[in-house]
Amino acid sequence: MKERHDTVIIGGGQAGLAMSYHLRERSREHIILERHRLAQRWRNERWDSLCFQFPNWSLQLPGYEYKAGEPDAFAHHEEVTRFIEGYAGFIEAPVRCGADVVFVDRDSSSGRFVVATRDMTLEASHVVIATGPFQRPSLPALNPSLPTDLLQLHASQYFNPEQLPKGAVLVVGTGSSGCQIAEELYRHGRTVYLSVGRHRRAPRRYRGRDLLSWLFAMGRFDTAVDSLPGRRIPPPLLLTGVDGGHDVDLRRFAADGVGLLGRFVGGTDSALEFGEDLEKSLADADETDAEFRRSVDAHVRMTGIPASDPDSADQPPIPITRTKPATTLNLKAAHVTSVIWCTGYKFDFDWVRLPVFDTHGAPSQQRGVTSCPGVYFLGLHWMHKFKSATLFGVGEDAAYIAEHLANAHRN
What is the tens place of the pLDDT at every residue in 125-179? 999 999 988 788 888 876 566 788 899 999 999 999 999 999 999 999 999 999 9
Give the least confident one: 59-73, 289-303, 392-406.
Answer: 59-73
What is the average pLDDT across 376-391?
Answer: 96
Residue 100's pLDDT is 94
Question: 309-363: per-residue pLDDT in tens?
Answer: 987 656 666 776 555 778 999 999 999 999 999 999 989 999 999 999 999 889 9
pLDDT of residue 45: 79
- Distance of alpha carbon 293 from the chain centroid: 24
The Cα–Cα gap between 350 and 136 comes to 11
- Give me the pLDDT at residue 404, please: 96
Long-range contacts formed by 233-237: CB under 8 A, 24+ apart: 233/381, 233/382, 234/200, 235/197, 235/198, 235/199, 235/200, 236/174, 236/175, 236/176, 236/199, 236/200, 237/176, 237/199, 237/200, 237/201, 237/202, 237/288
Q: Are 3 and 116 in contact (CB under 8 A)?
A: no
Say if residue 343 is exposed, middle or buried (CB neighbours under 10 Å; 0-12, 13-18, 19+).
buried
- Looking at residue 39, what is its pLDDT? 82
Mean pLDDT along residues 290-300 = 96
pLDDT in tens, 223-281: 999 999 999 999 999 999 999 999 999 999 999 999 999 999 988 777 899 999 999 99
What's the CA gap between 151 and 336, in Å, rounded? 9
What is the C-alpha separation between 185 and 199, in angstroms, rounded?
A: 20
Query: pLDDT tens across 16-46, in order?
Result: 999 999 999 999 999 999 998 888 778 887 8
Helices of type H across 304-366: none
* Mean confidence (pLDDT) of the chain: 92
Is the pLDDT at 99 greater than 60? The verdict is: yes
* Distance between CA atoms of residues 128 and 380, nearest Å: 12
Is 411 a residue whose pLDDT tops 60?
A: no
Return the SS3 of 317: coil
The fold of 3-135+347-410 is FAD/NAD(P)-binding domain (3.50.50)
Domain with CATH 3.50.50.60 in the chain: 3-135+347-410
Please write the tens of the pLDDT for every residue from 67-95.
877 999 999 999 999 999 999 999 999 99
- Cα separation, 104 vs 68, in Å, equals 39
Query: Which pLDDT does position 353 carry in this prediction?
Result: 97
Which residues neighbour 135 within 8 Å (Cβ) at sequence distance 6 or greater? 345, 346, 347, 348, 349
